[in-house]
Amino acid sequence: MNNEIQAELNIGIVGHVDHGKTTLTSKLTGKWTDRHSEEIKQGISIKLGYADAEFYIDPSVSGISSYTSQKTHPLTGNKTELVRKVSFVDAPGHETLMAVMLSGAALLNGAILVVAANEECPQPRTIEHLLALKMHGIKNLVVAQNKIDLVSKEEALLNYKKLREFLDSEGYKDSPIIPTSAHFDTNIDALIYAIVNTIEKPSIEKLSSKPLKMQIVRSFDINKPSTKLKELKGGVLGGAILEGKISVNEKCFIYPGFENGPIEFKVKSLNSEKISLKEAHLGGLIAIGTDLDPFFCFSDKMVGQIVCEEKSKPTLSNIIKIDYNKIERLIEPNQSEFKIGERVVLVIGSSAQVGVIKKINKNNEFEIMLARNAAFYPKNKVAVSRNVNSRWRLAGYGEIK
């Protein structure tokens, strides 16, 4: 296979804060996903971190040991063969960043749940993250029981038993649990084997034939200070394609846009990490060079918007109707029913929106008025958070009617 290719699928790395998600991602990809100064300072992921990884095998080695992330096999020194290229999405584990994690779940084809062996299982964010994956219909899950170097064999086995019971109770009986130590590179080959053989590739050909739908999760102004007017480059959009494909020189639309409505733009360039593309499909974070004023893309101003074509324009409204489903396994007791006039936070795609409940009918259908227009498609899943003890906590999810 040619290694100058786009990633074939998006895999989320989720779990409780400080359980080793970012460290494990760096071992699988060779890249550190905490690239923003505030993240490095706090030691936690704030924004979704993306990094592509290539997985290889040495055909002369049998079993799990043949798998590696290196072009040369570490045991044999042989040149390896590429079997899969993926893009990892490192989602935040801190409770105040739950909305960011939920926006990531909408983009995933599968996930790795990272659980520390040296802490009680399951932790609050472990539960919420797994429920978020379940809400979005993500069935392909690999579990990394991390930090096994910090516990005894007996403690690791007890933690494994609790973890297995938790996964089984939530419908993930077939998800493999791989004991790992990201710090010492323990069982990284077994983890890669599990990823390649558990997380199925989406049908890129089938999805690419549909009209373009793309979620923006980053946006940038790439111009340096004092750049001359003639040398200014348009704003850059970073996002994940959900359906369809996008080509250089194509005319596209951004929804919901700003005060004056949707924005039309022309695609000037396409990149997947350092690879320049003429056409891009589902898989990885795609950077779109545009002819937009860079002011509109500066410092993630476009996050939460949808890129589409004429045939796939979304609904644009500040009124949204959902069939609401409560998540029974909540972190804190949450017995009270929702009330008309109650404020909620909806995560629609990669956009977190504050709204007020206007109507509730007997079938748990909610009508919610948002603070501003949102772009959405029928049957999209949205996460619903409510204020519990002065904190926004995940309460349930809804399907847009």
pLDDT tens for 22-38 read 788 888 887 654 443 33
136 SS3 class:
coil
Instruction: Look at residue 1 and tell me if it is in a domain.
Output: no
CATH number at 194 reads 3.40.50.300
Residues 194 and 141 in one domain: yes
Residue 350 confidence (pLDDT):
80
Residues 305 and 322 in one domain: no
Instruction: Look at residue 211 and tell me if it is in a domain.
Output: yes
3-state SS of 288-350? EEECCCHHHCHHHCCCCCEEECHHHCCEEEEEEEEEEEECCCCCCCCCCCCCCCCEEEEEECC
The total of structural domains in the chain comes to 3
Residues 111 and 230 in one domain: no
Residues 70 and 217 in one domain: no
Least confident of 99-113, 284-298, 306-320: 99-113
How far apart CA 156 and CA 180 sit, in angstroms, is 11
Residues 57 and 177 in one domain: yes
How far apart CA 238 and CA 340 sit, in angstroms, is 37
Q: Which of 145, 177, 201 is the last residue of a domain?
A: 201
Residues 240 and 373 in one domain: no
Residues 184 and 263 in one domain: no
Mean pLDDT of 372-399: 86
Instruction: Look at residue 3 and tell me if it is in a domain.
Output: no
Residues 308 and 319 in one domain: no
Residues 137 and 219 in one domain: no
Residue 4 confidence (pLDDT):
65
Q: Which residue has the tokens 């008309």?
A: 340
How far apart CA 159 and CA 145 sit, in angstroms, is 9
Instruction: Look at residue 4 and tell me if it is in a domain.
Output: no
Residues 227 and 345 in one domain: no
Mean pLDDT of 331-347: 80
Instruction: Look at residue 370 and tell me if it is in a domain.
Output: yes
Residues 42 and 18 in one domain: yes
Cα angle, residue 38 at apex, residues 34 and 40 outer, rounded to 5°: 45
Residue 340 confidence (pLDDT):
96
Residues 212 and 284 in one domain: yes
How far apart CA 257 and CA 260 sit, in angstroms, is 7
Supply the mean pLDDT for the chain.
86
Q: Are 81 and 123 contacting, i.e. CB atoms less than 8 angstroms apart?
A: no
* pLDDT tens column, 76-132: 999 999 999 998 876 654 343 445 455 555 678 899 999 999 999 898 778 888 887
Domain assignment of residue 253, given as a range: 206-312
Mean pLDDT of 327-342: 73
How far apart CA 215 and CA 234 sit, in angstroms, is 19
375: pLDDT strictly greater than 50: yes
Instruction: Look at residue 18 and tell me if it is in a domain.
Output: yes
